[in-house]
Amino acid sequence: MSFPLLEVRGLYKCYSRSAEPAIQSLDLEVRRGEILGLVGLNGAGKTTTIRVAAGVALPSAGRILVNGHDVVREKTEAGRQAGWVPETPLFEPGARALPLLRYHAGFYGLSGTSGRELCLKLLSEVGLQGQERKRFRTFSQGMKKRFALARALLGDPPLLLLDEVLNGLDPEGVRYVRELVVRHRSEGKGVLLSSHILSEVEQVADRVAIIHHGRGVRILGPEELRSSSARVLKITIENLDDGVLELLASFGTVQREGRVVYIIGARGAPAEVTAELVRRGYRVSEIGSEKRTLESYFFEAVGRPHEDGHPPGESRGAP
Amino acid sequence: MTRLPFPLRGFLYELRRGLLNPALFAITVLLVVISMGIVTTFHVASGRNYESCEEVAWYVDGAYHFVVHVHDQHALPIAGVLTNISLSTAAGSPGSPPIYFEGHTAPNGSSQLVARLPVADYVYSFFAIDPNASSSGWGEGCLFSGGNTTAIATGPPGSVHSLAWGTWTLVGLDSSIPSPQLLLFFLGPNGTSPTGDQAFWAGAFNASGRAMGGPNPFPPLPESAMHRLGTFRGDAQVFSFAVPNATWTGCYSCTSDKVVQLEIFSPTGQILLEDTNLSASDFAPVPTGLLVNQADSLTFSFMSEYVGLIAPFMAIVAAYALYARDRISGVLETTQCGPISREGLALSRWAAVLVTLAVSLVVSLAVISVEIHSVLGVYLPASVLLATLGAVLVEVGAFSGLVMLLSRFSRSHVVVLGTAFGLFLGFEVGWTFLDNFLISYVQALPGGSWVSAQSVANQFELLNPLGTLFLLSRIYVNPPLLGVTQGEIGLAGFLWVMAPLVLFVLHARMRD
């Protein structure tokens, strides 16, 4: 199958006529065997994107296909293809874990003894063994998140939609999620992982989509993400021309931004590179070594905090 | 793995959740308790409207013992009634001053008066008057005069004689309708309690030419030849007693007068009393049609007054507990993300509410039906039960749909519940004002009459989801004056259920 597991085309979402749209013309896709990180400031539209993909919010415009099924027109089948873990899972406080999971299992045609065994296995897998009969009012946020994970895994969906899944989880839970998404990828399935913890995204994602003000502003591919772990030389050259790019290509992957050249995965010491440039007649005003991170890409894409008049943390869209 | 289609699996879960919901369970219990109260409405409806007395006497150890038992038409004992026996000297000795004995009935309705007098031929009279009788508007009590004590002391010492009318009474639920119940007041020798004694009856035809109360032409029958009424547990015992025609056997001179032969046996099988002074017409199978109609009317009236008021309240609570609360708090989303359509989820929850409440109402109707049968000896026809259930389900369906619809527009618990209860009050209380205004207005119009005003008011009632039950109850009262047909009532009820439901489902499908 060549089509992606999640295909978002021209997504537009407005919660009310008077409000600014939460999502404006967003395009992204999650391929098979891929973890797509979704990062953005608060209110950028991450949660709304995931809620629309999960079928709990309706798109105002655009098309969202989950494993080829339209989330609006083929809601039932699309719902079977994706497991959703919301940022703040809410469950009926008086309900007990196992009966509720069995109820949800009924959606997937899983009932009887086999359904019960599957539910017990999932609860155990997410670390809720021994909590099966407890009511949700006694659950911590982390336990609710674990339950939401178990619920998302019902029916073994090919796509996982994880919204800030690491929030509220203890270190053991974080490790479990990390292993889960990697295992999911290795099985040829897909994950859309939204998180504020960029280092976690960076660690597991194959690609990262940066959204800002409801628009997709950049998608970082594998090369860029790989570069985040490589050494980067930043050189400012007064009389920069195209020849210098050819010259520096022998030291690593070259990127130019104005009078600044980045050598990603630089081979050789800064002094060696400077000597070669000076020998060819280039005037080097500054040279330094730095490590590029997802955070640096992120802020390059969305601007530094307060630069655009929208302070980080401003909420604009999703409820 | 076992596969169950979601609508069934999910619906069963929702249903279970609804049935086990503490608030709904409490309301269901309340509903059943209230339903049990329908019997009290029978009594209250007819009220205490007459007093009846049974009197017995015996002579032992140099004293006349008189016992008067006073009860109302429901066979309920009347306490605190003033009882008075006066004895004058032997008949034919004018001028002898009478001797009075007075007492009051105890909570069991009985009063015993003892006259220590030598055996003589006395003329006696007695009366029993409830001091509250005049203020409560019912009869003046029992009064009997002109009896003679000769018979009291002539039998075996301590043998009990009934005075005046006898020791049995037909007890009606209402003064206007016969009843398949019989009150027997009976005391053993020396006034001993008849507890454990057995009462039996048999049907017979009166002897030709014999007047009621005349000499008994029938020999006592053995227990095996009679129908058992029951066992005495006290002096005054009420037995269910409906005489079916088919049991009328045996013919003595064969007149058309049917009589009931009643016998009381001791626990050892010794006959203690035989009485054939009972006219069968008093016990003839009660006119079933009349009773059924009255039961129908009572049921509709009761459902309209009590259950009809509680049902919308139940619907609001159920729809809130099973859908609106989850929708408002966001809990519903974790269900909505699964492989189910938005409208499917909405419908399954609505259906769960309806079935949950239908179960409660069926239990309630079953209680009412059993009670009516135990009291009147008839079952309500299925058509009445179904019409009543259907009418209440209209209320339930309409209000549950409205609450669910409201929760689609507001994310506030207070707004949703407040609006729902506001609508309920509007349809229940506000509607009455509108109705009265409309009736007055139509009557005031040129050519307006009470009948035309009622018709218009009834048509107006079609716009009220609580009106279905009311209108159905009125069909049994006076169909020609109703102004609306059963079909119109049914259609209005159907629309009241469907309109909120369709809007709710459409909104669930097309909006967040």
Model confidence pLDDT, tens digit, residues A236-293? 988 888 888 888 888 888 888 888 888 877 777 788 888 888 888 888 888 887 766 7
Query: Per the CB < 8 Å rule, is B13 touching A76?
Result: no
CA angle B372–B374–B379, rounded 5-degree value: 50
- Suggest the residue from B2, B334, B341, B509 to mutate for an interface test with chain A (most A CBs closer than 10 A): B334
Min Cα–Cα distance to chain A from B6, Å: 5
- Suggest the residue from B8, B325, B332, B337 to mutate for an interface test with chain A (most A CBs closer than 10 A): B337
Min Cα–Cα distance to chain A from B40, Å: 39
- With an 8 Å Cβ cutoff, is A112 touching chain B? yes
Q: With contact defined as beta carbons under 8 Å apart, do A163 and A201 qualify? A: no
Q: How far is CA B22 from CA A138, B236, B321, B392, in A?
A: 19, 43, 10, 22
Average pLDDT rounded to a whole number, residues A195-199: 82
Q: What domains can be seen in chain A, in order of their start residue?
A: 6-221 (3.40.50.300), 231-291 (3.30.70.3100)
Q: Which residues in chain B have their CB less than 8 angstroms from residue A86's CB?
A: 333-334
- With an 8 Å Cβ cutoff, is A76 touching chain B? yes
CA angle A299–A303–A307, rounded 5-degree value: 135
| The two structure tokens encoding residue A13 | 């979402």
Average pLDDT rounded to a whole number, residues A178-187: 93
**pLDDT value at residue A270:** 81
- Suggest the residue from B2, B8, B9 to mutate for an interface test with chain A (most A CBs closer than 10 A): B9
Task: For the beta carbon of residue A229, count every other beta carbon within 10 angstroms.
Answer: 12
Q: How far apart are CA B452 and CA B442, in angstroms?
A: 7
Q: Which residues in chain B have their CB less than 8 angstroms from residue A154's CB?
A: 338
Residue B326: closest CA among chain A residues belongs to which residue?
A92
- With an 8 Å Cβ cutoff, is A80 touching chain B? yes
Query: Per the CB < 8 Å rule, is A155 touching B339?
Result: yes
**pLDDT value at residue A82:** 96
Query: Per the CB < 8 Å rule, is A107 touching B13?
Result: no
Min Cα–Cα distance to chain B from A72, Å: 9
Find the CB nearest B334 among A15, A114, A151. Answer: A151
Between A50-64, A201-215, B238-252, the lowest mean confidence (pLDDT) is in B238-252
Compute the Cα dihedral for A281, A284, A289, A293 and give only its sign. negative
Min Cα–Cα distance to chain A from B511, Å: 7
Q: Is B307 exposed, middle or buried (0-12, 13-18, 19+ CB in 10 A)?
A: buried
Instruction: State the DSSP H helix or E strand holding residue B280, giving kind and residue range, or none if neither.
Output: helix B280-283
Query: Per the CB < 8 Å rule, is B339 touching A76?
Result: yes
- Suggest the residue from A56, A84, A87 to mutate for an interface test with chain B (most B CBs closer than 10 A): A56
State how beta strands A284-291 and B123-129 pair: unpaired
Q: Is B20 exposed, middle or buried (0-12, 13-18, 19+ CB in 10 A)?
A: exposed
- With an 8 Å Cβ cutoff, is A177 touching chain B? no
Q: Which residues in chain A have their CB less than 8 angstroms from residue B333's CB?
A: 51, 56, 86, 90
Find the CB nearest A108 among B329, B330, B339. Answer: B339
Residue B336: closest CA among chain A residues belongs to which residue?
A56
- With an 8 Å Cβ cutoff, is A186 touching chain B? no
| The two structure tokens encoding residue B137 | 């508007």
**pLDDT value at residue A38:** 93
Query: Per the CB < 8 Å rule, is A80 touching B339?
Result: yes
- Suggest the residue from A50, A107, A139, A149 to mutate for an interface test with chain B (most B CBs closer than 10 A): A107
- With an 8 Å Cβ cutoff, is A298 touching chain B? no
Q: Which residues in chain B have their CB less than 8 angstroms from residue A148's CB?
A: 334
Residue A148: closest CA among chain B residues belongs to which residue?
B334
**pLDDT value at residue B418:** 96
Q: With contact defined as beta carbons under 8 Å apart, do B348 and B14 qualify? A: yes
Query: Per the CB < 8 Å rule, is A108 touching B4?
Result: no
Query: Per the CB < 8 Å rule, is B331 touching A107?
Result: no
B483, B495, B417, B436: which is closest to B456 by C-alpha? B483
Residue B512: closest CA among chain A residues belongs to which residue?
A57
| Residues lower than pLDDT 50 in chain B | 1-5, 43-46, 94, 134-139, 164-178, 208-215, 244-255, 284-293, 477-478
Query: Per the CB < 8 Å rule, is A151 touching B330?
Result: no
Task: For the beta carbon of residue B54, count every other beta carbon within 10 angstroms.
Answer: 27
- With an 8 Å Cβ cutoff, is A317 touching chain B? no
- With an 8 Å Cβ cutoff, is A69 touching chain B? no
| The two structure tokens encoding residue A48 | 């709304």
Q: How far apart are CA A160 and CA A36, in angstroms?
A: 10
pLDDT of A60 > 80? The answer is: yes
pLDDT of A16 > 50? The answer is: yes
CA atoms within 13 Å, Cβ hemisphere of B178? 15
What's the first-to-final CA gap in chain B, in angstroms? 34
Query: Could you tell me the pLDDT band of residue A7, with boundaries at 50, 70 and 90?
Result: very high
Chain B residues within 8 A (CB-CB) of chain A?
A: 1-6, 9-10, 13, 326, 329-331, 333-342, 344, 510-512
Chain Cα centroid distance, residue B434: 32
Find the CB nearest A114 among B2, B9, B334. Answer: B2
Min Cα–Cα distance to chain B from A85, Å: 9
The strand order across the sheet containing A284-291 reads A253-257, A260-264, A231-237, A284-291
Query: Per the CB < 8 Å rule, is A110 touching B333?
Result: no
ipTM greater than 0.95, yes or no? no
Q: How far apart are CA B202 and CA B238, in angstroms?
A: 17
**If contacts are CB pairs under 8 Å, which of residues 226-265 in chain A contact chain B?**
none
Q: What domains can be seen in chain B, in order of their start residue?
A: 8-42+289-508 (no CATH), 51-285 (2.60.40.10)
Express the helix, strand and coil content of chain B in percent, nearest 5 each.
Answer: 50, 20, 30
Q: How far is CA A99 from CA A106, A151, B145, B319, in A?
A: 11, 12, 77, 21
Query: Per the CB < 8 Å rule, is A57 touching B331?
Result: no
Find the CB nearest A55 among B6, B13, B337. Answer: B337
- With an 8 Å Cβ cutoff, is A21 touching chain B? no
Query: Per the CB < 8 Å rule, is A111 touching B338?
Result: no
**What average pLDDT is seen over chain A?**
86
Find the CB nearest A79 among B2, B340, B510. Answer: B340
Query: Per the CB < 8 Å rule, is A115 touching B1?
Result: yes
Q: Report pLDDT digits (tens) over A105-160.
A: 988 888 788 899 999 999 999 999 999 999 999 999 999 999 999 999 999 999 99
**pLDDT value at residue B294:** 54
Find the CB nearest A115 among B2, B6, B333. Answer: B2
Query: Per the CB < 8 Å rule, is A15 touching B512?
Result: yes
- With an 8 Å Cβ cutoff, is A77 touching chain B? yes
**pLDDT value at residue A151:** 96
- Suggest the residue from A92, A136, A151, A153 to mutate for an interface test with chain B (most B CBs closer than 10 A): A92
Query: Per the CB < 8 Å rule, is B2 touching A91?
Result: no
Q: Which residues in chain B have their CB less than 8 angstroms from residue A77's CB?
A: 339
Average pLDDT rounded to a whole number, residues A45-55: 94
Model pTM above 0.90: no
State how beta strands B181-185 and B236-240 pair: antiparallel
pLDDT of A19 > 70? The answer is: yes
Query: Per the CB < 8 Å rule, is A90 touching B334?
Result: yes
B200, B207, B214: which is closest to B247 by C-alpha? B200
